[in-house]
């Protein structure tokens, strides 16, 4: 029964091929018996030639006219050893189909806000003073304070010295980016200075205490760079505080205890710079390297005040 079905199927295939061959005389069938496999042969003479209507749009013809990657056919480029530069550039532009842009490949870096902090006695002021001397395009924001002026300080250069009443009025007018009460005196950062100098393309340097740095971190988050300055040891730090001779012994003890606690906050900063005794230049160069590295980042920090 199964053999009969197979034979019937083959016979039907034979009949279909036979009729197909009648309609297309060049298509030959060769079938001997129902049990044999039928072979179809198409003579070479029946292979269709190129269609005149479609050959002009063929892939090979397109590439002959357009060149690789669909670009226009190459423009002759003069010998690089003989042609002058302007002629060579024009030929290269014509070959590429576009002119060379003189726009910078990397946009101008954003102005940075650099927050410098650290305990008392680590030489923050010395680092900032030297940085001011060797680095251009930096604006060092002058902090407002209610504390008395120390010998050698200049109003408007070291601090804006104001009374406590005037300072509190600035707070009420929302003129300060941050402010804090430090050792019984107020300190704060005026906003307007930052806005004016950032608009002119300057990087901004803020010198603040640990408490002020924590406040700025909450306000600015990752849009500013936070640098922590340290001495190489606690012994060196205490000796620097003694050499200042600006406080009575009780106030000095408070500063030492506070400095010990403040050192623990270093891990909350982006960078730590050790200002070793007698190696101020090395510390300043490291701060400069940090600024350069930040300005070379692909993903720039962007602070809005």
Catalytic member of 12, 56, 71, 150: 150
Q: Which two tokens stand for residue 32?
A: 């001997």
Sign of CA dihedral 242, 246, 250, 254: negative
Distance of CA 250 to the CA centre of its chain: 48
150 is known as an active-site residue: yes
255 classed as catalytic? yes
Closest Cα to residue 225, out of 165, 271, 275? 271
Cα–Cα distance for residue pair 31/41, rounded to 1 Å: 12
Q: With beta carbons less than 8 A apart as the criterion, state whether 212 and 189 touch.
A: yes
Q: Where are the beta strands (DSSP E) in the chain?
A: 27-30, 39-42, 113-117, 138-140, 144-145, 160-161, 176-182, 185-190, 203-207, 225-230, 271-274
Distances in whole angstroms, Cα of residue 8 to Cα of each of 1, 16, 18, 22, 279: 11, 12, 15, 21, 103
Q: Are 273 and 227 in contact (CB under 8 A)?
A: yes
Residue of 130, 106, 169 whose CA lies nearest to 296: 106
Query: Residue 238, Cβ neighbours under 10 Å: how many?
Result: 18
Name residues whose C-beta falls within 8 Å of residue 264's C-beta, 6 or more positions apart in sequence: none
The single residue of 40, 157, 200, 244 carrying the catalytic annotation is: 244
* Token couple for 84: 């002058």
Residue with tokens 């292979």: 47
Residue 299 among the catalytic residues: no
The set of catalytic residues is 150, 244, 255
């Amino acid at each position: 029964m199964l053999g009969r079905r197979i034979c019937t199927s083959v016979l039907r295939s034979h009949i279909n091929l036979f009729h197909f061959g009648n309609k297309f005389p060049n298509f030959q069938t060769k079938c001997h018996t129902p049990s044999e496999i039928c072979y179809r042969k198409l003579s070479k003479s029946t292979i269709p030639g190129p269609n005149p209507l479609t050959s002009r749009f063929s892939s090979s013809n397109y590439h002959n006219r357009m060149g690789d990657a669909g670009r226009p056919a190459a423009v002759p480029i003069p010998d690089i050893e003989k042609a002058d530069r302007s002629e060579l550039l024009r030929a290269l532009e014509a070959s590429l189909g576009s002119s060379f842009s003189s726009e910078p490949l990397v946009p101008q870096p954003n102005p940075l806000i650099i927050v410098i902090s650290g305990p008392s006695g680590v030489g923050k002021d010395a680092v900032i003073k030297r940085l001011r001397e060797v680095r251009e395009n930096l604006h060092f924001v002058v902090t407002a304070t209610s504390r008395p002026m120390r010998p050698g300080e200049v109003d408007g250069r070291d601090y804006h010295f104001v009374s406590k009443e005037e300072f509190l009025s600035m707070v009420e007018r929302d003129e300060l980016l941050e402010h804090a009460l430090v050792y019984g005196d107020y300190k704060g950062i005026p906003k307007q200075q930052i806005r004016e100098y950032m608009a002119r393309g300057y990087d901004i340097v803020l010198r603040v205490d640990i408490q002020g740095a924590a406040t700025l971190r909450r306000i600015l988050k990752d849009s500013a760079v936070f640098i922590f300055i340290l001495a190489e040891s606690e012994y060196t730090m205490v000796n620097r505080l003694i050499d200042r001779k600006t406080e009575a012994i009780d106030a000095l003890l408070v500063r030492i205890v506070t400095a010990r606690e403040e050192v623990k906050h270093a891990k909350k900063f982006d960078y730590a710079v050790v200002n070793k005794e007698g190696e101020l230049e090395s510390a300043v160069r490291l701060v400069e390297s940090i600024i350069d590295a930040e300005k070379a980042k692909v993903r720039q920090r962007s602070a809005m005040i």
